[in-house]
Structure 1
Amino acid sequence: MSETTEDNGQPAKRGLQNRHVQLIAIGGTIGTGLFMGAGNSIHYAGPAILLVYLTIGLFMFVMMRAVGELLYADPTQHTFITFITRYIGNRTGFFARWSYWLTIVFMGMAELTAVAKYIQYWLPGMPSWLIQIIMLVVLTSVNLVAVALYGETEFWFAMIKIVAILALIVTGIIMALTGFKTPVGDVAFSNVWQHLSLFPNGVGNFINAFQMVMFAFVGMEFIGMTTAETDNPRAVLPKAINQIPWRILFFYLGALFIIMTIYPWQKIPADQSPFVMVFQLAGVKWAAALINFVVLTSAASALNSVLFSASRNFYALSFQSKSAFLKPFRKMSKTQLPTNAVLFTALMVGFSAVISVVPAVTNAFSFVTSASTDLFLMIYILILIAYMKYRKSDRYMPDGFLVIAPRVLVPLAIVFFAFIFVTLFFNPDSRVPAIGATLWLVIFGWIASRQPKTLKK
């Protein structure tokens, strides 16, 4: 195993192999939203949902290429958030590193809550808090043993999602070619473009679909966190990122196209999983249990990635603060893992188990989780700004892993993410969390402004 030294940290063991990174990248591209929320997305936009996924996929790819170019130039970093501090300044970096870490923690709490809900499908009498503690202990142990075990776990979690989507696509194609009939009509590719309209349910619902789909992609950037612990990162990282568009085209657009082939898009219910409906049509009586298992592994995968990503962010964060409280988190274990950072992150995520037994806190928790998710858009904008400043710095690597047409696509991506954030205020369901995220920006931004301009070594 080769090693790398982070700017402000100890060596990180390179225990992830190419196959781990490739499957982690695929798994990070496919969220539970596809399995459970596809019907709702189609309900909002009809066949135009394909255009929504394609547009967001394009700009997420631009953001990932920017992250990739930064990490390619300096693959020793445990987190791309470091580049915000380096190229924009310590005050903005302070806001970004704490906001991002807390956002990931809240994301982990939400995923842990979801895991308990999915397990209760089979064990309805088991308390949610107990399920959460057991699952958290298991996945924390995975993250503490070796980075290779984390990679192996994510490999198989991702494989389950891939097999489920491939099964859906193959089933749909066979149905279409054999003239299969459903209770609502024939299975035919023409169902997709029959009565085609860009705004079948109005412009407002079309725009709202962007919000829903956007948050299905949140977490894709976690692939960048694996760089410092990957064998030969400058060979592996470009492959993982460059395949993102093809994964989006095949897994997302392919699955949605087949769903609308099987069911006329006007007749797909918003409150049911199309995956369950399709597999039930194919004669799989236990389709609901099957998809529940898939989304369970998807949520567990997201939680596993949260523990990995948040702990690496917290490890890097501990070197960028003078607080005595954070000094213990600078330590690496004998196996070169940030053990203290992993344990502290797991402890924070574990608060969801406490919240689950205090009903009065549940609504507040849902609000904070939704508001923190909106902060991802701010982080994406900041990393793109940092990238633009990197291109003008003396660290710029002209022969590195370069973004395509950066002068055009990067500013467009910034405008696009800002547009998504603004639209949140026009949707009653997303307005309050958006206000919460804005308050976080104002209040924590003011706290960040009180920090030193530059990060002192």
Structure 2
Amino acid sequence: MSDSKGDSNLPKRGLQNRHVQLIAIGGTIGTGLFMGAGNSIHYAGPSILLVYLVIGMFMFVVMRAIGELLYADPSQHTFITFITKFLGNRAGFFARWSYWLTVVFMGMAELTAVAKYIQFWLPSLPSWLIQIVMLILLTCVNLIAVALYGETEFWFAMIKIVAILALIVTGIIMAVTGFKTPVGTVAFSNVWNHFEFFPNGVGNFINAFQMVMFAFVGMEFIGMTTAETENPRSVLPKAINQIPWRILFFYLGALFIIMTIYPWQKIPANQSPFVMVFELAGVKWAAALINFVVLTSAASALNSVLFSASRNFYALSFQSKAKFLQPFRKISKTQLPINAVLLTSVMVAFSALISVIPSITNAFSFVTSASTDLFLMIYVLILMAYMKYRKSDSYMPDGFLVIAPKTLVPLAILFFSFVFVTLFFNPESRLPAIGATIWMVVFGYISMRQPKQALNK
């Protein structure tokens, strides 16, 4: 099965290499790093560097698998179509609907976060109003041209990158000069002083994996972004192969510097370490600075959601005979899936309604967490599809090949399965994990009632 429908009907490929490179860097840096790093360090101490390294390695395996599939068939605008092609229509039905809904819920969560960050400066503005205005702005960005989306993401990514570079440079200068703070002298040795591999027990070390895992969720958007360039086969390898270096520098580098400036034993779990570090460096407006960074990070994630989910729904409209899906095949004069973008935006807009009904806020948090857990299932499915691809006639032996696939791909499947199982042992993640499991069982049953063969277009 292919989604190739003729160049005139495909979304326009309007991204340049500079867009993709910055988006790829920004896509590896989640809001979780800025806001959640203190919590993860609190759980695992210096061993958090190992946690990020392991998860980064397996996410790289996923990205290489997606990259190899898209390299072999650049006509695709979403990696989800490969699940249908290589695992069958039933698995594809589960994946494409689950992924679209999951990404929409992710967008709702990011829109809620955007309102919260803006209220830092404008506390009297109602959350629902902020959400509607921001959603309209980003929907317009996604409706005008792919290049405008790329330009917006370019600058969102630049802000995150500059913030982390500033942190790393500041930390190095403070360590080299022996800068003294209220919590001690800044020194690289703070990272390994009184080192304990499991400072808070093995259980908390394992829990750190699930916390950090969700800081990486959404990295696969990079694959869909490169699919929107004029020459995906040229851009894909470059964008994906640089991911390990970005993880090493931006994640591990930032965490190492944070623990250099602020001894890891004293880092509180409920505060952003970025705010604390800049305050120790004498930046009085550190809280406002980091609030601006996480605001742009959340807006960037929301922008990517509108982009990614609309492409997935556009592809989905060609994989079903349902009449209600036919209008979503429409392409605008600027070669964008206009109706798919508008539907995604309307779905995300429900978060504004939820924000004014307190009684369902907890339910929304539960659904959002449960849907985020589904990313683990999607990653497993794409890796299984990749293994089938390697045995198929579509396999391109001289393509952009995964390194040691016979070893690393099965290991990655086991790892993501392990992370999902650990969700049941943490009281905070147990209910969402049960929700994700119920979703998998119920939607899996619905998927099994679908035709074995996908609709031929």
TM-score, length-normalised on structure 1? Answer: 0.98
Q: Report the Cα distance in structure 1 between the residues aligned to 2:323 and 2:3, rounded to whole angstroms.
A: 21
Could you list the per-position Cα deviations for residues 44-100 of structure 1 after superposition, in whole angstroms to 9, with x for gaps in the alignment? 000000000000000000000000000000011111000000000000000000000
Q: Report the Cα distance in structure 2 between the residues aligned to 1:27 and 1:306, rounded to whole angstroms.
A: 14
Which residue of structure 2 lines up, in the alignment, with residue 287 of structure 1?
286
Code of the aligned partner of 1:319: F
Q: Report the Cα distance in structure 2 between the residues aligned to 1:203 and 1:283, rounded to whole angstroms.
A: 36
Shift of 1:11: 2.3
Q: Report the Cα distance in structure 2 between the residues aligned to 1:287 and 1:264, rounded to whole angstroms.
A: 19
Could you list the per-position Cα deviations for residues 214-244 of structure 1 after superposition, in whole angstroms to 9, with x for gaps in the alignment? 0000000001112332021101011000000
Shift of 1:436: 0.2
1:390 corresponds to 2:389: yes
Code of the aligned partner of 2:408: L
Residue 220 of structure 1 aligns to a residue whose secondary structure is coil
Which residue of structure 1 lines up, in the alignment, with residue 275 of structure 2?
276
1:7 corresponds to 2:1: no
Which residue of structure 2 lines up, in the alignment, with residue 118 of structure 1?
117
Which residue of structure 2 lines up, in the alignment, with residue 367 of structure 1?
366
Structure 1: gaps of 5 or more residues: none
Could you list the per-position Cα deviations for residues 386-445 of structure 1 after superposition, in whole angstroms to 9, with x for gaps in the alignment? 000000000000000000000000000000000000000000000000000000000000
Residue 220 of structure 2 aligns to a residue whose secondary structure is helix
Aligned-residue RMSD, C-alpha: 0.9
Structure 2: gaps of 5 or more residues: none
Code of the aligned partner of 2:219: M
Which residue of structure 1 lines up, in the alignment, with residue 233 of structure 2?
234
Could you list the per-position Cα deviations for residues 243-262 of structure 1 after superposition, in whole angstroms to 9, with x for gaps in the alignment? 00000000000000000001
Shift of 1:13: 1.4
Q: Could you tell me whether the CA contact under 8 Å between 2:321 and 2:455 is conserved in 1?
A: no
Matches within 5 A, 1:31-430: 31-430=30-429
Q: Report the Cα distance in structure 1 between the residues aligned to 2:95 and 2:307, rounded to whole angstroms.
A: 18
Could you list the per-position Cα deviations for residues 265-305 of structure 1 after superposition, in whole angstroms to 9, with x for gaps in the alignment? 10111111111111112221111000000000000000000
Following TM superposition, the consecutive aligned residue runs of length 4 or more in structure 1 with deviations greater than 3 angstroms are none
Q: Report the Cα distance in structure 1 between the residues aligned to 2:75 and 2:228, rounded to whole angstroms.
A: 9
Q: Could you tell me whether the CA contact under 8 Å between 2:83 and 2:95 is conserved in 1?
A: yes
Q: Could you tell me whether the CA contact under 8 Å between 1:18 and 1:231 is conserved in 2?
A: no
Percent identity, please. 85
Code of the aligned partner of 1:389: K
Q: Report the Cα distance in structure 2 between the residues aligned to 1:259 and 1:405, rounded to whole angstroms.
A: 34
Residue 11 of structure 2 aligns to a residue whose secondary structure is strand
Q: Report the Cα distance in structure 2 between the residues aligned to 1:6 and 1:24, rounded to whole angstroms.
A: 25
Which residue of structure 2 lines up, in the alignment, with residue 30 of structure 1?
29
Could you list the per-position Cα deviations for residues 13-58 of structure 1 after superposition, in whole angstroms to 9, with x for gaps in the alignment? 1210001011111111001111111111100000000000000000
Number of residue equivalences: 453
Q: Report the Cα distance in structure 1 between the residues aligned to 2:408 and 2:283, rounded to whole angstroms.
A: 45
Code of the aligned partner of 2:365: S
Q: Could you tell me whether the CA contact under 8 Å between 1:8 and 1:316 is conserved in 2?
A: no
Q: Report the Cα distance in structure 2 between the residues aligned to 1:425 and 1:12, rounded to whole angstroms.
A: 41
Q: Report the Cα distance in structure 1 between the residues aligned to 2:197 and 2:320, rounded to whole angstroms.
A: 50
Shift of 1:6: 4.2
Q: Report the Cα distance in structure 2 between the residues aligned to 1:217 and 1:182, rounded to whole angstroms.
A: 32
Q: Report the Cα distance in structure 2 between the residues aligned to 1:110 and 1:13, rounded to whole angstroms.
A: 28
